[in-house]
Amino acid sequence: MKRPRLASILLLGPASVLFALLTIYPLGRVFILSFFMTEYGFEGAKFVGSENYQYLLSDSFFQQATWNTISFTLMATISEVALGLMLALMVSRRFPGRWLVIPTLIAPFVLSTMVVTAIWRAWFHYDFGYLNNLLRAVSLSPVEWLFDPNLAMISLVLVDLWQTAPLTFLILLAGLQSIQPETYEAARMDGASPSQVLITITLPLLVPHILLAALLRSIDSFKIFDKVYALTGGGPGMATETLSMYVYKLGFKFFDVGLASTAAVVMIVVAGILAAIYAVYIIRGRSRVA
């Protein structure tokens, strides 16, 4: 018994050291820095206790960034799950050219974010962009997609929808493929219409996969930074400034590392809650299978 236990410790040792250095130590350092007023590290830092948290909760910029993050997370998650479900339902049955349609739908997901933002920045261009040219073609006025405060957040959601809806599509397509054909045959023999089959059989059986897709997308959407940084920089004004962008500006533009660490701790707590929900879902799913 001792030898297998020793072998396990030796095998897990390097991974545990890396995990401690790359995850536990940075998180612990950020948490400690959140109680200090400092521009960089602990040198010259002033302990302020919970003042950073009190200031943060009363800061209108933090409140706006929080609201923007929640809005983006809800809009992106709901739209991506809905679009992924529609695409999965359309592609679940075999038809000529299906082998080409599925890779085409997945293609945006394999592109890097910088490539995706470069494509959409060109499409959003006021004078020569593809979207405004479409509006002109139907006799509508072009719009400032990234510079109108009322459209900037929706524009970011469109970019995220285009890139990551294929992920929810794959999850839900796998869920559809896991439903036994005999279930549908029995429903048809009982005289169920296609809409009744969808509502009473397909959607209820897909609920676990829908929840999985929603959880994964909500966790990823909550910490969005790259698309905001590349397309709007948080503007116009604060229309698209998310919590990640807020932390970035505090720490790397205004060098208020203490307050930036405080905001990061708040983000970590919220992301941890979402991750805990995901973990509970996975554990329950495995226990049901077992």
- CB 244, CB 223: distance < 8 Å: yes
Split at pLDDT 50, 70, 90, the class of 285 is low
Using pLDDT thresholds of 50, 70 and 90, give the confidence band for residue 199: confident
Per the CB < 8 A criterion, the answer to whether 224 and 160 are in contact is yes
Residues 6+ apart with CB under 8 A from 255: 39, 40
Question: 46 φ, ψ to 5°?
Answer: -115, 125
Render pLDDT for 20-53 as a digit per residue (tens, 0 to 9).
888 889 889 999 999 998 877 777 788 888 899 9
For the purposes of burial, counting CB atoms within 10 Å of the CB of 287, is it exposed (0-12), middle (13-18) or buried (19 or more)?
exposed
Mean pLDDT of 161-184: 91
pLDDT given for residue 289 in this prediction: 45
Q: Over the stretch 86-99, which tens digit does the pLDDT of each residue have?
A: 999 999 888 888 88
Query: Per-residue pLDDT tens for 7-18?
Result: 777 778 888 888
- Tell me which H or E stretch contains 47: strand 46-47
- Rg of the chain over all Cα atoms, to the nearest angstrom: 24
Span 167-187, mean pLDDT? 89
Q: What's residue 55's pLDDT?
A: 92
Q: Do the Cβ atoms of 260 and 38 come closer than 8 Å?
A: no
Its pTM stands at: 0.88
Q: Please check the confidence at residue 168 and state whether its pLDDT lies above 60.
A: yes
250 in Cβ contact with 263 (< 8 Å)? yes
CA dihedral 188, 191, 194, 198 (to 10 degrees): -80
Cα–Cα distance for residue pair 52/48, rounded to 1 Å: 7
Q: What is the pLDDT of residue 287?
A: 54
Is residue 286 pLDDT above 60, yes or no? Answer: no
